[in-house]
């Protein structure tokens, strides 16, 4: 497979996942802050900005209208939902021959739906209805991809991109709630306004985990149970352990189809991380420095990304001739 094709498939998976994650965080925020005092709304807004790795003291984001405009419609923000969908569509356009026509049609319709809406039209109607359509569009794209694309090397690149993005987003989200120091403004932390259960509910719902968590435990929101569920649960699709397992599986599929020593670098790194998470115990993790532990997982995912690029996308062509 050509390196530019692998690159486009990988980033197509990442951008669709990123768009869904961003829309979900805003959807949860708007729902949980309904009829809440403005000080509580502002505090929740700080969590959303931090989870999306945006400056928490962004001067132009002073209410939910400006927050929505910045993270959904602002094309100057490369991580906004609109920017991500535009980028995903452009990557798909470059690999039309590698993906199914159903995938292209869904992504193109997804793009056209977002392109025809602006912040004023969304805000004057039902903002959450629009955000739900974004999430459903992303889910539909992933389902169509699994159902219509050959599960070969190209499909594995899409999956690797999807789950690299999911791990990084989930880890960043968890870090905001479990280790907020340095990520949330100090004045916000000194004046806690959010109800504790509402805060943990926000984390679970932003990871689409609340219902699954209640079925696994109960509706009682205990931090140690939430950490266990989001970090090392092997069967919940948005847990870190499950996502790393799928990332490992995708890289294994790529390795099996390349038969080149250089292709194993990213796979070996993912395999080690996968094995560690499979045998991790939440009580042992909580006894140590949780912030360092979560940061280490994030750093290792970035290393997997770098190794993937070195192996398949930016590698020296002459190395294939040795």
Task: Provide the CA 302 distance to its chain's centre, in angstroms.
Answer: 14
Task: Provide, for the chain, the percentages of residues in helix, strand and coil under a 3-state DSSP scheme, each rounded to the nearest 5.
Answer: 75, 0, 25
Measured in degrees and rounded to the nearest 5, phi and psi for residue 103 equal -65, -45
**319: pLDDT strictly greater than 50:** no
103-148 tens-digit pLDDT:
999 999 999 999 999 999 999 888 999 999 999 999 999 999 999 9
Per-residue pLDDT at 42: 86
Highest mean pLDDT among 36-50, 187-201, 221-235, 251-265: 221-235
**189: pLDDT strictly greater than 80:** no
DSSP letters spanning 32-71: HTTT--HHHHHHHHHHHHHHTT--TT-TT--SHHHHHIII
**166: pLDDT strictly greater than 90:** yes
Query: Rounded distance, CA 171 to CA 149, Å?
Result: 29
**321: pLDDT strictly greater than 50:** no
Q: Which residue has the higher pLDDT, 188 or 103?
A: 103
Query: Rounded distance, CA 154 to CA 168, Å?
Result: 22
Report percent pLDDT > 70 for the chain: 93
Query: Rounded distance, CA 51 to CA 65, Å?
Result: 18
How confident is residue 259, by pLDDT bands cut at 50, 70 and 90?
low
Tokens of 64: 């939910």
Phi-psi region of 182 (alpha: psi -120 to 50; beta: other; left: phi over 0): left
Query: Rounded distance, CA 290 to CA 267, Å?
Result: 25
Range from 180-189, 204-213, 224-233, 297-306 carrying the lowest mean pLDDT? 180-189
Query: Rounded distance, CA 128 to CA 134, Å?
Result: 10
28-81 tens-digit pLDDT:
999 998 888 888 888 889 899 999 988 655 567 889 999 999 999 999 999 999
Query: Rounded distance, CA 239 to CA 294, Å?
Result: 13
SS3 181: strand
Q: What's the whole-model pTM score?
A: 0.93
Per-residue pLDDT at 183: 81
**317: pLDDT strictly greater than 60:** no
**1: pLDDT strictly greater than 70:** no
CA angle 179, 185, 189 (to 5 degrees): 65
Query: Rounded distance, CA 105 to CA 148, Å?
Result: 12
Average pLDDT of every residue of the chain: 90
**308: pLDDT strictly greater than 80:** yes
Task: Provide the CA 263 distance to its chain's centre, in angstroms.
Answer: 25
């Amino acid at each position: 497979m050509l390196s530019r094709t692998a690159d486009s498939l990988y980033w197509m998976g990442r951008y669709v996942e990123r768009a869904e994650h961003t829309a979900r965080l805003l959807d949860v925020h708007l729902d949980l802050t309904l009829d809440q005092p403005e000080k509580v709304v502002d505090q929740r807004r700080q969590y959303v900005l931090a989870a999306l790795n945006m400056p928490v003291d962004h001067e132009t984001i002073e209410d939910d209208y400006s927050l929505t405009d910045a993270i959904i419609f602002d094309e100057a923000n490369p991580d906004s939902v609109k920017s991500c969908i535009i980028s995903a569509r452009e990557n798909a356009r470059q690999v039309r021959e590698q993906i199914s026509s159903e995938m292209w049609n869904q992504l193109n319709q997804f793009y056209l739906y977002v392109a025809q809406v602006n912040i004023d039209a969304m805000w004057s109607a039902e903002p959450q209805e629009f955000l739900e359509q974004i999430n459903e569009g992303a889910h539909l794209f992933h389902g169509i991809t699994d159902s219509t694309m050959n599960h070969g090397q190209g499909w594995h690149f899409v999956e690797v991109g999807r789950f690299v993005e999911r791990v990084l987003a989930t880890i960043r989200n968890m870090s905001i709630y479990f280790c907020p120091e340095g990520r949330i403004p100090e004045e916000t932390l000194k004046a806690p306004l959010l109800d504790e259960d509402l805060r943990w509910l926000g984390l679970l719902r932003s990871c689409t985990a609340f219902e699954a968590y209640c079925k696994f435990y109960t509706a009682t929101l205990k931090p140690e149970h939430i950490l266990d569920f989001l970090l090392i649960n092997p069967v919940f699709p948005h847990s870190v352990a499950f996502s790393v397992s799928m990332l490992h599986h995708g890289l294994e599929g790529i390795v099996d189809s390349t038969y080149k020593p250089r292709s194993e670098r990213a796979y070996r790194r993912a395999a080690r991380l996968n094995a560690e998470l499979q045998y991790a115990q939440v009580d042992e993790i909580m006894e140590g420095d949780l912030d360092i532990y979560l940061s280490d997982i994030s750093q290792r995912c970035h290393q997997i990304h770098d190794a993937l690029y070195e192996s398949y996308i930016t590698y020296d062509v002459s190395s294939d001739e040795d």
